[in-house]
Amino acid sequence: MRAVVQRVTSASVAVDGEVVGAIGPGLCALVGVARSDDAACARRLARRLWHLRVFEDDTGKMNRSAAELGRALLVVSQFTLCADTTRGRRPSFVDAAPAEEAEPLVEVLVQQLTELGATVATGRFRSPMAVSLTNDGPVTLVVDA
């Protein structure tokens, strides 16, 4: 699994103009699931996101995690993160897990985050989504599990 993670002051996701998930300060994670991923990958990614030290401490260094600060996460499925762009001009998505395999793994990720103590908002799987966010820093990382 791969996530593009942004530290945000706020983030939301809407489907057909209706906000279906929103957070204040925290992390926005766009999550891609590959065919080779399994539930263990989802649980590992959840732990990495929750404990990722990207928030500033009192000295201005990125030493604090969402777990330490009680920050929320917005998790949005994003199959295009599994695209192969090494050849040609059109991305190949053959490595992306089909929706019926990816959706349960994103659910495992969200469930694990919740069990770890996170407040989690989500998008809506298999729906065109509009994601809005205010990147804080800006801080943007790619996290693989």
Q: Is 80 a catalytic residue?
A: yes
Closest CA to 12 of 129, 141, 108: 129
Catalytic residue among 6, 9, 55, 79: 79
SS3 1: coil
Catalytic residue among 80, 85, 114, 140: 80
Q: Which two tokens stand for residue 84?
A: 């192969």
Q: Is 55 a catalytic residue?
A: no
Distance of CA 83 to the CA centre of its chain: 16
The full DSSP string for 37-100 is --HHHHHHHHHHHHH-EEEE-TTSSEEEEHHHHT-EEEEEE-GGGG-B-SSSSS-B-TTBPPHH
- How would you classify the pairing of strands 72-77 and 120-122? parallel
Q: Is 114 a catalytic residue?
A: no
Catalytic residue among 6, 55, 78, 122: 78
Peptide bond into 138 cis (omega under 30): yes
State the catalytic residues: 78-80
